[in-house]
Amino acid sequence: MTQHAPRADAPTPRRVLLIEDEANIATAIAFILHRAGMQVSTHSDGATALEAVARHAPDVVVLDVMLPGRSGFDVLAGIRSGTRPDLPVLMLTAKGQTKDRERAEALGVSQFMTKPFSNRDLLDAVEALGAAGAA
């Protein structure tokens, strides 16, 4: 993997909460984000994801859809109805059907990205969401 330097015009979010239950995918994403200068906290359980949002106070959440205990859709709904309704959320999923995208959009997702994705697309999305959240 190549190192990606943050663009000068887009501040890099300092804290990213990654909620992904597949260890190999979580490790790869955390590595990509960390190499770009971000602090990454990983969490693998949908059931306690909202607690993790409160505990880690992230600038951006990267959220999988299919999680044990509680779906990413449920977690997104909880974020939007909780104390941080404007928190930028990037939903990553293998469930790229139109109905899944529409459901995520109805719940207020900031951005929806299907797996597989490129490292560059992931970094660009997280950086853009971090810049929007900081504005």
Domain at 93, CATH number: 3.40.50.2300
Q: Other C-beta atoms within 10 Å of 13: how many?
A: 25
Domain containing residue 102: 15-134
Q: Does residue 4 fall inside a structural domain?
A: no
Q: Does residue 62 fall inside a structural domain?
A: yes
Q: Does residue 1 fall inside a structural domain?
A: no
Q: Does residue 115 fall inside a structural domain?
A: yes
pTM: 0.88
Q: What is the pLDDT of residue 1?
A: 35
Q: What is the pLDDT of residue 11?
A: 56
Q: 2-11, 16-25, 89-98: lowest mean pLDDT where?
A: 2-11
Q: Give the total number of structural domains in the chain.
A: 1
Q: Does residue 87 fall inside a structural domain?
A: yes
Q: Given a cut of 70, is residue 59 above it in pLDDT?
A: yes
Q: Given a cut of 80, is residue 42 above it in pLDDT?
A: yes
Distances in whole angstroms, Cα of residue 11 to Cα of each of 21, 33, 53, 120: 28, 14, 21, 16
